[in-house]
Amino acid sequence: MNRRRLNRARDAAGPLLISIIAWAVLVYLVLPLAVVIAISFTTTEYLAFPPVGFTLNWYQRFLADPSYVDAILLSGRLAFGSTLIGFLLGVPAALVLKRGRLPGAQMLGNLFLSPLILPAIIIGVGVLQISGTLGFARSFEAMLVGHVVIILPYIVRTTLASLEGFDTSLEEAAQDLGASGFSTFFLVTLPLIKPGIIAGCLFGLIMSWIDVEVSIFNTVIAQSPIPVKVFNYVQYSVDPMIAAVSAGTIYIALILVLLLDRLVGLDKVAGQQK
């Protein structure tokens, strides 16, 4: 009797211990972000944690500074632009790779995914070289083509994954009922792989939004995306205004996470991450 109770206690202790570690790790994951948000409200002129008082002063100051607003708008244009191009290139490519019955489709698929494992800094350097050769070095366009390279794998991979589990008898049923190949795609295939495409595009959008490594080689100081601007600033000084700017990007991350959860479901997305 005692022994059984002991065994049961031991069986319960394991999960309890794991749960405690898990929550400690979760706290570790949230802490730096929470700290950045907290100090963005401080009334002091220097970084103070815990914050002293509460003010939205720093947010006002950064929103009043056109160089920060421009940087955010530039990042937004980059993120949406590269995601749109990535979508237009990546989704058709994934469709052909999965359905085209091509010899070597597997190898070509790996080529599309390879920017994922290549150091982003080398992609940044490479884009600097080619854009120099083609005559648009250090420009919005140079960053755009670089961002498309780094986000294309996300879109291709999630599209491939959603086609992987696709029940082809649904497409046969559509054709059997009179749908042409074209309308089968738009009425059956596309609606069913849409969550995968949305997940891939949202990931792509984020990867562009937070990128430093590719942008930093392909921009000039006067025209920096927001992460590069923060990066250049933080290396030399830190103050509550930069905390407010950083906190702003965290709010956007939260919105995107919630959007992803709403549109696709986070547990489904997680399996397809990197």
One-letter amino acid identity for 190?
A: L
Nearest distance from residue 19's CB to other proteins, in Å? 5
**Complex with other proteins: residue 56 or 102, whichever CB lies closer:** 102
**Complex with other proteins: residue 2 or 11, whichever CB lies closer:** 11
Whole-Å CA distances, 7 to 18, 96, 100, 139, 174: 17, 56, 57, 66, 57
The span from the CA of 32 to the CA of 12, in Å, is 32
The span from the CA of 254 to the CA of 248, in Å, is 10
Nearest distance from residue 215's CB to other proteins, in Å? 10
Can you tell me which residue has the tokens 């607003």?
69
**Complex with other proteins: residue 1 or 177, whichever CB lies closer:** 177
Nearest distance from residue 57's CB to other proteins, in Å? 18
Instruction: Take residue 253 and report the two structure tokens written for it.
Output: 């991350």
Nearest distance from residue 42's CB to other proteins, in Å? 11
Nearest distance from residue 1's CB to other proteins, in Å? 19
CB atoms within 10 A of CB 143: 31
Beta-carbon contacts of residue 68 (< 8 Å; ≥ 6 apart): 62, 226, 229, 245
